[in-house]
């Protein structure tokens, strides 16, 4: 006697029906330098996204993750030209702070679909007295989450 087709599908359903596990995080590697952020990818899947950050520069850096539909040039700014982290038009997701030269850091955030900017928002005073603002100097990257 041959098994009926509907009974043959039961083992398949048991195998494919185990979707209760959390999805593995997407990984985005970020190389920080003076004054750029190079991302391994400009897109990530919605859900947990792990940022693996390496500071290849000579200055202290950070990564601020904000969700926004605004272009980088349209974001609210501080008097020094840095990102106003409490300004309108964006949602603060998280911050990976104080990444020393040669150092690395890692953080995972759960991201909804949308457009994100990854920004180094450090402002420092140089020995010459000049104010150096990393965001103003172009230290940001865009990430699209789908």
Cα 70 to Cα 91: distance, rounded to the nearest angstrom: 11
Q: Are 47 and 25 in contact (CB under 8 A)?
A: yes
The pLDDT of residue 101 is 97
Residues 23-145, CATH architecture: Sandwich (2.60)
Single pTM value for the model: 0.81
- H or E element in which residue 16 lies: helix 10-16
The set of residues, in sequence order, having a beta carbon less than 8 Å from that of 117 and lying 6+ positions away, is: 65, 66, 68, 72, 75, 90, 140, 141, 142, 143
**Which residue, 142, 114, 146, 139, is CA-closest to 33?**
139
- Give the tens place of pLDDT for each residue, 58-82: 999 999 999 999 998 899 999 889 9
Question: For residue range 17-70, what is the model confidence (pLDDT) as tens digits?
Answer: 454 555 667 899 999 999 999 999 999 999 999 999 999 999 999 999 999 999
């Amino acid at each position: 006697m041959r098994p009926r087709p509907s009974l043959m599908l039961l083992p398949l359903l048991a195998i494919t029906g185990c979707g209760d596990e959390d999805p593995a995080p997407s990984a985005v590697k970020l190389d920080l330098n003076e004054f750029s952020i190079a991302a391994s990818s400009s897109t990530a899947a919605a859900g947990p996204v792990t940022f693996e950050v390496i500071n290849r520069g000579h200055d202290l850096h950070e990564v601020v993750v904000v969700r926004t539909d605004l272009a980088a040039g349209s974001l609210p700014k501080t008097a020094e030209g840095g990102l106003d982290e409490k300004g309108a038009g964006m949602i603060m997701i998280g911050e990976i702070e104080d990444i020393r030269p040669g150092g690395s850091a890692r953080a995972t955030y759960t991201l909804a679909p949308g457009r994100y900017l990854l920004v180094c928002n450090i402002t420092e005073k140089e020995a010459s007295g000049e104010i150096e603002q990393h965001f103003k100097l172009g230290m940001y990257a865009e990430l699209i989450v789908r």
